[in-house]
Structure 1
Amino acid sequence: MRALTTAAAAILMIAVISITGSLARAQEAQTAHPMTGPGPFTVRLKFPANYKIPAHWHPIKVTVTVISGTFHMGLGDTLDTEKGKALPTGSIFEMPAKIHHFGWTTEETIIQEHGIGPLSVNYLNPAGGPPHR
């Protein structure tokens, strides 16, 4: 008789925490696997209205889903709210590795990012990273 093997499934708990530093005034929730380590990650970010994310890039491709609200994003080396695109609830987009981009909100907005880490946020002007309102 042949033995059957099954893959074990894992349910990852997500807890909302208040964070400081580069994303002060935003809230983050991530799976048990940290986004800064190697391997798959999922993270949700809750931004208040009128939050601004200066131009930055990531070393990996990141897939983003807008869970609620409207997330505005654009491509380039400086944050320019005249040059972005409004992405409403339900929008999904991929940001390729090393592409310079920026974002902002006009209302409370929740996005979910996932990818294969490690993920880092590299600001083009490190002195100008969040928090910005």
Structure 2
Amino acid sequence: MRILLPAVAVIAALSPATAQTGQSHSTASDHAIYLNFQDMKWDRANPELGAGSPEITILHVDQITGATKLMIKVPQNFHVPKHWHTANETHTVVSGTFIMNHDGKREELGPGAFNYVPSKLVHEAWTKPDEGTLLFITVDGPWDVNWVEGPPRGPNN
């Protein structure tokens, strides 16, 4: 299943519902942007999951390249199913632990950890049962999420 979010995306990789947010705090590339955490607008990435949904905020989308910077709050005990992105993606863990897997290689990333995922690499991720995770994500083109076996269905899906 392919979900293309014009000029923005998730999720992280997270949900077709993210396309509904379609908002960015700024799309201009020619001025500085300053956002305090409390001023960021967060939307549920998967509204059908209710309070158990990850939340997303789009921080910036480059008008020319579509490169996107975003943050995702992933709840505790959550599985982000196998998916891939058209653009290269990076994750920086701000808080919590993010466990990622691709090609049978599993990595546990804690606060301050960074990873790079090349375009079209199928990967999946989890949070721990007792803590959520806050991620800063960049993609070097428009962000999309292409689910391999369907979108998230909730904790431990």
- Contact 2:93–2:112 under 8 Å retained in 1: yes
Taking structure 2 as the reference length, the TM-score comes to 0.65
Q: How many residues align?
A: 118
Give 3-state SS (helix, strand or coil) of 1:117's partner. coil
1:12 shift after superposition: 5.6
- Structure 1 residues 42 and 52, CA gap change in structure 2 (3 angstroms): same
1:33 shift after superposition: 2.6
Identical aligned residues as a percent = 29
Counterpart CA distance in 2 for 1:97 and 1:40 is: 13
Give 3-state SS (helix, strand or coil) of 2:140's partner. strand
Unaligned segments of structure 2, at least 5 residues: 1-28
Taking structure 1 as the reference length, the TM-score comes to 0.76
- Structure 1 residues 8 and 57, CA gap change in structure 2 (3 angstroms): closer
User: Which residue among 29, 33, 47 is the counterpart of 2:74?
Assistant: 47
Q: Which residue of 2 aligns with 1:103?
A: 125
Give 3-state SS (helix, strand or coil) of 2:67's partner. strand
**Counterpart residue type for residue 32 of structure 2:** A
Tell me if 1:65 matches 2:92: yes
- Contact 1:12–1:32 under 8 Å retained in 2: no
1:94 shift after superposition: 0.4
* Structure having the higher Rg: 1
Unaligned segments of structure 1, at least 5 residues: 1-6
Q: Which residue of 2 aligns with 1:122?
A: 146
Q: Which residue of 1 aligns with 2:21?
A: none
